[in-house]
Structure 1
Amino acid sequence: MLLLLSLPAMAERVSDIANTKHNLSATGPGTTRATSEDEVCVFCHTPHGATSFPGSPLWNRQLSSQTYTVYTSSSLDAEDIMGQLDQPGGSSKLCLSCHDGTLAIGTVNVLGGQQNVNIAMTGTAIDGSMPPGEGETTGFIRDLGIDLTNDHPISLTYDSNLANVDTELVDPVAAAHIGVRAPGFRPIVPLEQTGSGGAAQIQCASCHDPHIREQDPAEVIKFLRLNRFQTNIPVDGAFSETSDIMCLACHDKEGWATSAHASPSVATETYTSAGAAQREFPVGLPVWQAACLNCHDTHSVHGSRRLLREGTDSLTVPKAGGEAASEETCYQCHSSTPVINNTASEVKDIRTDFNLPRHMPISNADQVAGQEVHDVTDSDLSEDPLLLGKDNLSNRHAECTDCHNPHRVMKNALFNGTGSDLSPTHAHTAGHTNIASGAMRGSWGVEPVYGSSVFPSLPTNYLVKQGDGGLGAGTLVTSDWVTREYQICLKCHSDYGYFDNNIYPLGTRPNLSTSGGGTTSGTNGLTQYTNQAVEFNAPVLHRGQTTTTDSGAGSAFSINNHRSWHPVIGETGRDPTTRSASANAWLAPWNSNVGEQTMYCSDCHGNSTGPTTVVPSGNNPWGPHGSTNEFILKGSWNDQTGGQARDVPATDPNNGICFKCHDYQTYADRNGGDLDSGYSGSQSNNLHAFHADRIERMHCMWCHTAVPHGWKNKALLVNLNDVGAEAGLPAGTEIAINGSADVYNQEPYYFNAKLKVRTFAQSGNWEETNCGSAGANIPGNATSTGRDWMRDVCTNPP
């Protein structure tokens, strides 16, 4: 803290144009200057013969007659209020007489009593205009051109009405540092009365004073009236002229002051020499001090949106034009070749995950539309469901800000933590929960509202969760803000983000393989994705071990039966005693608080991990960015997942997804690790092990649903005596299984399925008579029940 307090506050600006790049005379310090003319002021001002323009300070240049393409954005509330922004006016019009590149810099109205003089210059473009710098379409040039869509909006009316609508802008009426200058009132951020009826507007000179420099002439302040960089810890809602970056004079971003990107204890990485030089940053500048300028540039690369630095799909360095690609802004730091010094790998390499064989469709090339469809509407970075694919599946996409709000993210195990605890994500420990981590803080999502427990009923509604509850915010699922990771996932992976006619096996849900990086169509028999909000429904009355009549199972199969689910939305209520199972049939941390714990989507989805854990190896990131496995899973999942012999090793050699949480030997080895499984009865305390011995292998999908999110039967068990709407069949349909080679395949939930349950048993009370054909005299099902049925159909299954 002593170090922070000792950081220099904003040094006094010196009005000394002679020692700035705006001294275009032969004596100027810049590379663009006159060859011999030594007058300094003449390039902008003249006492006689000035251009007539309202408010112009004796302007010695002609003004451009160009019509400009002005800034526009779906999240620019000023457009909702005033329509399209006005053409540049006031000081902006003057600045653009050089900076739009249409007029020669050396052309002035009057010089030495002569009119319309062309001063000989060096360091200009061929036509004498502003030089091209790093390239005319890069973000490292001050020839802004006449396309201003990649430049900070100007001629924008800034008043209380705009501040109230936006909610993250400082109210200029309440802030002494913003306003129209008048006798006795000189706010440091001056607005200009260039709007309709004299309305106060933002113009170039609101931020820039073309005459000033830093006390140290070597410092690059870009003629800013206030700090170019942050010099001390920011405070939400309390702008400091001496220590805050200039952006915060107007932009009071909710949660920014406590975010990871603004934290001196988190964002300590410094820019590389090349990265700093490219951006004209001081050598050794840490990320937290670069603040807004890490991700934004007021004059950014052509094609980027929302002033995102390097935010296009251009392949050049620096980027030159291209189409909007916001992920590229994040990749500046979150890649294997960052522009920051990241020797400790604290800043996670996300780009590599997105280049794995299976990944979210984040690039323009991966997205069906072929361009960045993502378009947020407000400071919560929320988006119209139509852009998620609701009306057009071609709009489906993934972008970083679909899941993360970079102005609010926090390095904390909990989204509501009271500060940084340096945790990269949620705590993966005993007492596991589904509470969102700091990486999810301030994002937006949806909470499904259920009207029925019957599988596969759709939710009746979705409640949008958005905003930031602040430090120590409540964690109730009923909160207005996101409190659970699944809320973020479900806005795309449910019928909130697409139309679902709830018809199976094929409906209106998104197809596999439609986007780059997607799972191959036909994997596990699937050609369409399923609706996760339908599957993860965790009805309160189905928790514990109970009999229900509304699970979606046929009426003949309701006793001792209920819905089952992985506890993503809600806990199961089924502890080891209820399950008649040993807690250690689960791996840590799942062997603690069994039945009471919840989990995350990212416990199963993400880059491939070791065989007994879901924790990323090394410095790999959490999160479902990409994987070498289908469905972006952390392990393999197919019809061979399980044991391939009577005796199996301690860990699954095929890295099956199930056995990162469930003990491999308990379920796949004939000795069962000496542990009880819920599938037990008088024959054995572990009928998984019993069958592994008899069949000489044990595959999960023989008995369990192929999409193990949630299901109509207990323990995610398939029942070929009771196939129904989920397969496009009448309820209670029995599937004919005549021999060991026979299996049932019907997307999405049946793949290599064998199991027939005649009656469901309480866990721990399973007997051979519970299994077998429900209709022994029905053609194709004459293999009876119990052990006889098992011998006929399970002796050597595929």
Structure 2
Amino acid sequence: MKVIAWCALLGLLVSLSLIAAEAAPSSNIIMTKHNLSSLGSNTVKANTESQICVFCHTPHGSDNTQAVPLWNRQLNTGATYQVYTSSSLQSETVLAPGGASKLCLSCHDGTVAIGAVNVANGQLNPSIAMSGTQPDGTMPVGSGAQTGFTRRIGTNLTNDHPISFTFDTTLANADGELRDPASVSHIGTRGNGVYPQLPLDHEGKMQCTSCHDPHLYDPDDAKRKFLRANRLQKVTPAGGAFDANNDIICLGCHDKEGDAWSKSVHASSTTANYTYTDAAANQREFPLGTKVWQAGCLNCHDTHTVEGSRRLLREGTDSTASPKSGGNPAIEETCYQCHRELSNSVVQEAGIPDIRSDFTTKKYKMPITNSHQAEIEPHDIKDADFTEDPSRTGNGDLQKRHAECTDCHNPHRVMKAPLLNATAPGSQGTHTHSGSSTHTNIASGALKGSIGVEPVYSSKLFLSDPIAANNAISFIVKKGVPPAGGGTEVTQPYVTREYQVCMRCHSNYGFGTTPPSLGASTGAGKESAIGGTPVNTNGVTQLTNQAMEFQAPTDHRGYVDGTTIPTPTGWTAGNSRSWHPVMDKTGRTAGNIRSAARWYQPWKNIGNQTMYCTDCHGSDNTGTGSNTNPNGSAPSSGKPWGPHGSNNYFILRGVWSNPENSFGTDAICFKCHTTGYRTEPGAGSATGFWNPKDDKGKDDLHEHHSKVISTSNGNNLRCTYCHVAVPHGWKNRAFLVNLNDVGPEGGKTDGTSVSGSVFNYGPYYRNATLRIRTWDPSGSWRENSCGELGTNGSRGRSWMQSACK
């Protein structure tokens, strides 16, 4: 046995003499952490045993039950393992560890002492004395056994990369993002460190040894972790075939959809050029100065991550420890490593949007944490498109309502560009929103490759019950990777509009026949997906069906005179639907005499522009018009953009609550509409209420209307005297309520004239007063256009003034 020791010593001397000349990775266990002999310099080492190979191999008396040459370690045959599982894992079976993986775990699961071998120095089953181990001689726990910064993997493998499963063509085809192992070589060439494809074992199974070579030493990267290919990305990934010289090892098996990953905000060296702090780099065992694009997959994933995390997400639990130790799965915590206040970020430079602060410091926010959801992270995707069954968004079970970062964003595809089909990354990842731009509703790179739905309508009717047979709304699921320079038409199979992403949850696709209620509707202390806004705020008790509200029928666009469209039951001739142009433009220009001066930029292209849900919903700020960007900042500023959190109800950028009595610029309506709507208009700034022929331009209906609005009379939301309270879309034009014609949306039969001067019925009627006798053309309304029906019904100015008090 002394021969083995001398051979080891000789090998050490020879290896040391070659280190200076050998710059490529090679088999040189002497220089690695697997040199557990007393001759090594590692923390975990034998007290006196100088043999190196004995901790795994023996020339005599080896375990012949293992398919590994001359195996010498004892195995815990009674260990029970919890194996990795995921709804997006396409392998039919992930078995308990076997083959070479079981051998690796004989040290790394912490159940067998490192010094427990079969044969050493002529003795059977000796116990080699070790230092640097746990008191029982097992693998040390490092930062903690349940953290992602230990290599004491344990027997709970749910937070570790799956092993011991068959990796073949069938699996690759089922997954869609795996390289077909039958199409490339499995033989690694250790001499130059190049591995064309990570090797499977003799049964075609993925094992620990597919990624790790326990003998490998890299003189240029002491923290390589025995990986057969690069631990970090060397250049921006080109997409396509695996480049073993430059690509991170993960891409040896995972084919991330051509250039979708390479152009993503997490992989492109142009946009992911942020540097890890020294503390974060040291904790992750990255070289100092590592960039986000170099870390690549390892920014968000760790093959041996914190216990409790799903899909190998780094730091992906709700543990409050640092580093995280155990806990429940929490996707947002993975994102918060970078998307948070700079002082606690893992990167050094400013510019990454601080999303965490919106979620943690704003009063109203999406229910992204486990404490705000009825179940522990019900979000559960199926595939690379992040497809999720509607039952997970509450359709049939409101207890599963949730919001997660990956409900809206696909981190493997998200691109820093103002348009989803950009050919290259740019300086901003959100849509253009400026005075000089023609405003659209085309999705930005922030939503590239997300999943969404497009409503398909069988009726134009506006009903309170969106699932009624005569107003059925079906949906086309939009998913996939948009090609660079590809079409942005709404008919594309992939997401091209922001509203398509929003409507996955905010329509009957997401919640079925029962809209969620506001406030604590999904369990004690839990928030529904409406940001924690208290129930009955402004008369709203539950979510509305935005697929129904935003419908933009082609024959309701433009100037409608009563002969252009069919007149549905209960609608007065000359009327038509109205909508904010989220799904499509309104065409409301011809025949109108409204002035573009009534809107801030970029809203002056009346009738031909479209808009985003996030033009109204998002971080609160004090700007107006094109200055309603997050916190009044440009899209490239790195400020949060999107409906993450706000100090206003319903996650609105402006106020839509009792403080709106002041009708200041903080009111949500006046983020786009100028405050001219609340003051005396003056000659030449005509609206639909203004007719210079009446009263010689003085004391007209709009002037009176403005005075009523500005008068403090104890009521809330003066706009809703005449306009629908939830202004997404409405059954009448100009969002006008009509108490002479209340239908199912007000709990009545179509055509009902309700009694009283004020009508409240959530969510659409809030202190509603307006009664319309005739739907006159825009610009031609008179006093007698409004009032009670019938020959002797009250009407005109005096009626309006008394009704609004």
Q: TM-score if structure 1 supplies the norm length? A: 0.90
The DSSP-based 3-state class of the residue aligned with 2:760 is: strand
**Mapping of residues 210-359 of structure 1, within 5 Å:** 210-216=214-220, 219-254=222-257, 255-336=260-341, 337-343=343-349, 345-355=350-360, 356-359=362-365
Give distance in 2, aligned partners of 1:550 and 1:744: 31
C-alpha displacement of 1:14: 2.4
The DSSP-based 3-state class of the residue aligned with 1:170 is: coil
Query: Is 1:483 the counterpart of 2:496 in the alignment?
Result: yes
The DSSP-based 3-state class of the residue aligned with 1:449 is: strand
Residue 75 and residue 427 in structure 1: after superposition, are their counterparts in 2 closer, same or farther (change >3 A)? same
2:457 counterpart residue number? 450
Give distance in 2, aligned partners of 1:586 and 1:487: 26
Query: What value does the CA root-mean-square deviation take over the aligned residues?
Result: 2.3
Give distance in 1, aligned partners of 2:162 and 2:595: 63
Q: Contact (CA 8 Å) 1:77, 1:162: kept in 2 or not?
A: yes
2:613 counterpart residue number? 601
Give distance in 1, aligned partners of 2:543 and 2:441: 23
**Mapping of residues 146-157 of structure 1, within 5 Å:** 146-157=155-166
1:638 counterpart residue number? 657
1:402 counterpart residue number? 407
Query: Is 1:677 the counterpart of 2:687 in the alignment?
Result: yes
C-alpha displacement of 1:373: 0.4
Which residue among 565, 575, 584 is the counterpart of 1:570? 584
Residue 555 and residue 206 in structure 1: after superposition, are their counterparts in 2 closer, same or farther (change >3 A)? closer
Which residue among 374, 379, 383 is the counterpart of 1:378? 383
1:717 counterpart residue number? 736
Query: Is 1:35 the counterpart of 2:47 in the alignment?
Result: yes
Give distance in 2, aligned partners of 1:471 and 1:262: 16
Q: Residue type matched to 1:757 in 2?
A: I
Residue 338 and residue 660 in structure 1: after superposition, are their counterparts in 2 closer, same or farther (change >3 A)? same
Which residue among 170, 178, 187 is the counterpart of 1:161? 170
Q: Residue type matched to 1:373 in 2?
A: P
C-alpha displacement of 1:540: 0.4
Query: Is 1:176 the counterpart of 2:174 in the alignment?
Result: no
Identical aligned residues as a percent:
52
**Mapping of residues 519-598 of structure 1, within 5 Å:** 519-547=533-561, 555=569, 557-575=571-589, 577-591=590-604, 593-598=605-610
The DSSP-based 3-state class of the residue aligned with 1:578 is: coil
1:493 counterpart residue number? 506
2:151 counterpart residue number? 142
Q: Residue type matched to 1:699 in 2?
A: R
Give distance in 2, aligned partners of 1:119 and 1:487: 63
Q: TM-score if structure 2 supplies the norm length? A: 0.89
Residue 177 and residue 417 in structure 1: after superposition, are their counterparts in 2 closer, same or farther (change >3 A)? farther
Residue 187 and residue 713 in structure 1: after superposition, are their counterparts in 2 closer, same or farther (change >3 A)? closer
Q: Residue type matched to 1:758 in 2?
A: R
Give distance in 2, aligned partners of 1:527 and 1:776: 38
2:97 counterpart residue number? 88
Q: Residue type matched to 1:313 in 2?
A: D
1:20 counterpart residue number? 32
Q: Contact (CA 8 Å) 2:309, 2:330: kept in 1 or not?
A: yes
The DSSP-based 3-state class of the residue aligned with 2:334 is: helix
C-alpha displacement of 1:253: 1.0
Which residue among 108, 117, 129 is the counterpart of 1:108? 117
Q: Contact (CA 8 Å) 1:26, 1:37: kept in 2 or not?
A: yes
1:763 counterpart residue number? 778
The DSSP-based 3-state class of the residue aligned with 2:117 is: strand
C-alpha displacement of 1:763: 1.0
Deviations along 1:433-468, whole A, 9 cap, x unmatched?
A: 110100000010100001111112544310000110
C-alpha displacement of 1:793: 1.6
Q: Residue type matched to 2:171 in 1?
A: L
C-alpha displacement of 1:544: 0.4
Q: Contact (CA 8 Å) 1:639, 1:700: kept in 2 or not?
A: no
Give distance in 2, aligned partners of 1:178 and 1:246: 15
Deviations along 1:313-350, whole A, 9 cap, x unmatched?
A: 0000000000000110000000114443343x321000
1:203 counterpart residue number? 207
1:71 counterpart residue number? 84
C-alpha displacement of 1:423: 1.3
Which residue among 773, 790, 795 is the counterpart of 2:800? 790
C-alpha displacement of 1:141: 0.7
Deviations along 1:630-649, whole A, 9 cap, x unmatched?
A: 000000113663666xxxxx
C-alpha displacement of 1:737: 2.8
Q: Contact (CA 8 Å) 2:367, 2:403: kept in 1 or not?
A: yes
C-alpha displacement of 1:518: 1.5
Give distance in 2, aligned partners of 1:640 and 1:340: 40
C-alpha displacement of 1:236: 1.6
Which residue among 496, 513, 520 is the counterpart of 2:520? 513
C-alpha displacement of 1:582: 0.8
The DSSP-based 3-state class of the residue aligned with 1:387 is: helix
Give distance in 1, aligned partners of 2:583 and 2:187: 47
Give distance in 2, aligned partners of 1:712 and 1:551: 13
Give distance in 1, aligned partners of 2:339 and 2:585: 34
Deviations along 1:728-777, whole A, 9 cap, x unmatched?
A: 11111112234xxxx21111100111111111111111111100012476
Residue 694 and residue 311 in structure 1: after superposition, are their counterparts in 2 closer, same or farther (change >3 A)? closer
Q: Contact (CA 8 Å) 1:260, 1:409: kept in 2 or not?
A: yes
The DSSP-based 3-state class of the residue aligned with 1:191 is: coil
Give distance in 2, aligned partners of 1:680 and 1:415: 42
Q: Contact (CA 8 Å) 1:297, 1:307: kept in 2 or not?
A: yes
Which residue among 438, 444, 460 is the counterpart of 2:445? 438
2:767 counterpart residue number? 752
The DSSP-based 3-state class of the residue aligned with 1:463 is: strand
The DSSP-based 3-state class of the residue aligned with 1:464 is: strand
Which residue among 123, 133, 139 is the counterpart of 1:124? 133
Give distance in 1, aligned partners of 2:542 and 2:791: 34
Q: Residue type matched to 1:744 in 2?
A: F
Give distance in 2, aligned partners of 1:631 and 1:210: 55
The DSSP-based 3-state class of the residue aligned with 1:125 is: coil
The DSSP-based 3-state class of the residue aligned with 2:282 is: helix
Query: Is 1:692 the counterpart of 2:695 in the alignment?
Result: no
Give distance in 1, aligned partners of 2:414 and 2:616: 22
Q: Contact (CA 8 Å) 1:553, 1:722: kept in 2 or not?
A: no
C-alpha displacement of 1:180: 13
The DSSP-based 3-state class of the residue aligned with 1:45 is: coil
1:368 counterpart residue number? 374
Which residue among 670, 673, 680 is the counterpart of 1:662? 673
Q: Residue type matched to 1:541 in 2?
A: D
C-alpha displacement of 1:220: 0.6
